[in-house]
Structure formats: C-alpha cells, structure tokens
Amino acid sequence: MQRRQGRVNAGLLLLLYQISQVGLQNIPSVTLAVLILNVFFFLNPMRPLHEACISVKEAFYRQNWQRLLLSPVHHVDDWHLYYNMVSMLWKGITLERKLGSMWFAYIIAVFSVLTGIVYVLLEFMLVKILNDPSYEMSCAVGFSGVLFALKVLNNHYNPGRVSSVLGLQISSKYACWVELVAIHFIAPRTSFAGHLAGILVGLMYTMGPLKKIMKACAGGFSSFADPDRPRNDYSGYSDFGGATYNNERRPYGFWFPPEQHSEEEMRRQRLRRFWRQ
C-alpha cells in the first residue's frame, strides 16, 4: 500500500464539504461506508494505477482477476474521486433507503465485479470486430461504471422523473444514455466502454435475469430483505444543476423532502384534532 504524495487535494476537500452539508446523520450506513472506502484507497492506494486498472490483457490473458476488485475503488486524481463520490452520495441516499442497507450492499458488491467483467467483454469484442489490438491495452479505473448501473436502477424505481443534463431536461428513461454520450464528448479520456458496461449491468438487473439470480443466491440468508418490499421513497434528485421535488426547483446542494407520515399516524392526528373540537 502506497501513500499519496502530500499535496492539497481540492477535490477531496470539496467532497468533504459536500458530505458535511448533507450531514453524516442523513447518509445511510452502506453509502457512507462506500464513500469512506473510496477516500481511504485514494489516500492509501493498494497498487499504482497501472497495476490496479482493468483491461483485456490483464484480466483475460494474464488472469489477473484481482483487478476486478481493485479497479472500482481506485481513482486517477482528486477530481475523479470527487465527481464519482458526489454522484454516489445522492444515488446511495435514494436507493439504500428504498432497497434496504443489506440488499444495497449486495448490489454494490455484485455490480462492482460485474461491471468489470462486462467491460472486459466489450473491449474483447472491439478487438475482434475492429481487428484492433490496442483495445486489449485499454485500462479502466474508477467507480463510474457502478454509478451508471445505479443510475439505471434509480430511474427504474422512480419512473416519470426528469433529469437535467447540461441544462437540457431529459426524461429519466433516456438520461443515462444521454449522459453516456455527453460525458464522452466533454471528457474524451473517460472510458466509454466502462460507462456502457455499467448501463448494461443495470439493465441486466431491471430487465434481465440478474435480480432473480441474486435473490436466489441470497435466499438462504434471512438478513437480506425483499428488495421489492415498499419503502419510503426519497426521490427527486438530478445529476446536474440541483434537484426537483413536486415541480419545485432547488438551485444547488442537497435537499431532503419533508418527512412523510404513515396513514396510521395521519389517522391518529385527525382523531386528536376531532376530540379537541
């Protein structure tokens, strides 16, 4: 494990500020653990980036499968970490409260490995289709593939929402595809195949057999709650340009919708008001 050279990491400081603005008490446990884990490995990387990234050459030909675990939690620089973890922050708050901490942790673990596998398969297909061996060397690192998979889940569980992507109002159904293309043009060095792998993994969960397979594998563990059980829905966040809730635009930062009382609590309040009359 190598410690990074001591320098001011503006992205890391801004990330800590964002977390403090949300409040630790408002961040679910698994989401907070993912943030801490990624920050820890950014400050104390287990391997240099060229030994942690995932590629066809390293994973397929050299059978260096440990990179499937290393690549998602290593980042190129502090801004790479910042943008990924801020995205993880709001996605985690939304999804973990909806699915439950145990199931959400299960999803993070499975998606982290599976996005790497799908990425290697996509790059391998490009090598064969384009007859270009350079794709064997293309090496990816970072948590963004998992984040694209989580975005597909978030859109699935919150249909009909509108996301703001670079100032454009896009239906959440298509937002991940628009972001896939937009990010590639804005930052060409980002891994298009890595982001696409995340979307495909998310679709495998929402439209394919992945969720059923995961439920079957977790069937013997009582600690895993049913992911389809209704829970409080904390929706209304968008990736770019703030959040909306009940058509009310919030210009920046994180905002939580007011606490929703259960039907039983509302009935009790009505009864109390009746007896006071």
Confidence at residue 169, expressed as pLDDT on a 0 to 100 scale: 78
Is the Cβ–Cβ distance between 163 and 172 less than 8 Å?
yes
Which token pair is 96?
Answer: 């973990």
pLDDT of residue 269: 55
The whole-number pLDDT of residue 190 equals: 84
Q: For 232, phi and psi rounded to 5 degrees?
A: -60, 135
pLDDT recorded at residue 2: 56
Cα separations in angstroms, 104 against 96, 135, 181, 192: 6, 32, 27, 25
Hey, how many other C-beta atoms are within 10 angstroms of the C-beta on 151? 24
- Beta-strand ranges (E) seen in 174-221 are none
Which phi and psi angles does 244 have, rounded to 5°?
-125, 150
Distance CA 277, CA 257 (A): 31
Per run of 10 residues, the mean pLDDT along the chain (length 277 residues) is 65 94 95 97 93 92 92 94 95 94 96 96 94 90 96 88 74 83 83 94 95 88 61 41 36 38 52 46
d(CA 168, CA 207): 27
Active-site residue numbers? Answer: 144, 195
| Paired strand residues for 171 | 162
pLDDT of residue 263: 53
